Structure formats: structure tokens, C-alpha cells
Amino acid sequence: MNNTDKRAAKHKKAMAKQKASVDAAVEAADRERGVAILLTGNGKGKSSSAFGMVMRALGYGFKVGVIQFIKGEQLSGEEIYLREHCPQVDFYQMGTGFTWDTQDRSGDIAAAKATWAKAKPMLENAEYHLVVLDELTYMLAYDYLPEDEILAALSGRPEAQSVVVTGRGGGSALREIMDTVSDVHEIKHAFKAGIKARAGVDY
């Protein structure tokens, strides 16, 4: 056997082993229900991953709700696209009232509460296959919304509904109740090398 053949044989054996383990895991996962996903961490990719799932759900014709808990200074591509082309997506953004530097805490809290008032009914409505609560973690981190109420709504949602929460932090109680938690870790970010945020990539 030459080196190429040896390598091919080794690869085949490794793939067979991997297939057996994946098949066993697939076989073991036999429960059918919606999942709660938390995308957290300091790296880029949390919100854009959430919108990737929105696209997947839309591909199957499912009803989707998206709530953004932070008003971006910049209109985002996903907002423009969803508003223009996806009337089947119920999109709501926190809007005015929220300031990053929290100079007006009571105004922020009022905006957070008004936004939560849009999110909560979605988490009670089984028609929504997927609900995205983008940047919700900050509402918990700043103590703008009651943690117990949010956790109860997330846990008590309809069985077939999936929910995606994004944002840094959010606390251990939130992590505890979620089914899937991914920590998006920054290795490097273009912004730190002085490259400006890009339309269609960063927003």
C-alpha cells in the first residue's frame, strides 16, 4: 500500500467511526419539541446567527416574530429586508427611548417594558414557530425588566415554539433554562484594526 492508499484507508476508517457515533446520537435524540437557544459572548456572530435561523424558518413557511431590544443608531440590513419583503415576519424594535449611555434610566425602562409587552404575547402564541429576542440579555443585565417574569415566559412558551435570545451576559439563571447555549468568543475583530463597520456585514 502506498502512502496515498494508506491515507485513504485511514480516512475511511475514521469516517466510519464518526458515522457510527453520529448515527447513535441521532438515534438517541428522539424528542420532538421547540428549543430555547442563547447566543452570547463577546465575539461577532450572535444576531447574524439568529437571523440565519429566521431565514431557515421562512424557508419552511413558518411564522416568525422578531423583537429587537436595542435601537441601533444605524438601520440594519435585516430590518430593511424583513420590513420590505417579509410581511409574514412580525418585527418590532425598541425604538426611541433607549440610550446606550443610560442617561435616562426611567425612559429606558419604559421603552424596555413597552418592547417586552410585544414579546410576551408572542411567547404565548403557538402560531409562532420561532421567536427571536435580539439583545434581550441587556434588559436583564441592566435590571430593566424583571428576570423572573422573563424566565417564566421563556420556559412557559408553547411546546413547538423555538426561541433565540442574543446578547452578552444575561446571567446564570438564563443560561440554566436554555437548551442550547453558544458562547461566541472573539479571537479578533476587524473594528479593532481600525476597519469601519460594513453595511451588509455588520449591520
Q: Which residues bind ligand ATP (CB under 6 A)?
A: 42-48, 166, 184, 186, 189, 191, 197, 202-203
Partner from ligand ATP, Mg ion, none contacting 126, C-beta within 5 to 8 A by type = none
Cα-based torsion angle of the residue sequence 51, 55, 56, 60 in order, rounded to the nearest 10 degrees? 140
Q: Mark residue 151 as left, alpha or beta (left: phi above 0; alpha: psi -120 to 50; beta: remaining).
A: alpha
Of the candidates 181, 180, 190, 124, which has an alpha carbon nearest to the alpha carbon of residue 154? Answer: 124
Provide the minimum distance between the beta carbon of 75 and ligand ATP in the complex, in angstroms, as a whole number.
13
For the sheet containing 180-183, what is the strand order?
89-93, 63-68, 128-134, 162-166, 36-40, 180-183
Residues 43-62, interacting with Mg ion (CB under 5 A): 46-47
For ligand ATP, the closer of residues 115 and 166 by Cβ is 166
Provide the minimum distance between the beta carbon of 90 and Mg ion in the complex, in angstroms, as a whole number.
19
Provide the minimum distance between the beta carbon of 172 and ligand ATP in the complex, in angstroms, as a whole number.
20
For ligand ATP, the closer of residues 5 and 73 by Cβ is 73
Contact flag: residue 93 with Mg ion (CB under 5 A): no
Contact flag: residue 137 with Mg ion (CB under 5 A): no
Which helix (H) or strand (E) segment holds residue 175: the answer is helix 172-177
For ligand ATP, the closer of residues 183 and 186 by Cβ is 186
Residue 157: other Cβ atoms inside 10 A: 21
Residue owning grid cell 414557530: 129
Provide the minimum distance between the beta carbon of 46 and ligand ATP in the complex, in angstroms, as a whole number.
3
Residue owning grid cell 457510527: 20
For Mg ion, the closer of residues 31 and 188 by Cβ is 188
For ligand ATP, the closer of residues 79 and 147 by Cβ is 79
Distances (CA, A) of 67 to 16, 133, 190: 43, 5, 27
Nearest-CB residue for Mg ion: 47
Residue count (the chain): 203
For ligand ATP, the closer of residues 16 and 100 by Cβ is 100
Partner from ligand ATP, Mg ion, none contacting 45, C-beta within 5 to 8 A by type = ligand ATP
Provide the minimum distance between the beta carbon of 78 and Mg ion in the complex, in angstroms, as a whole number.
10
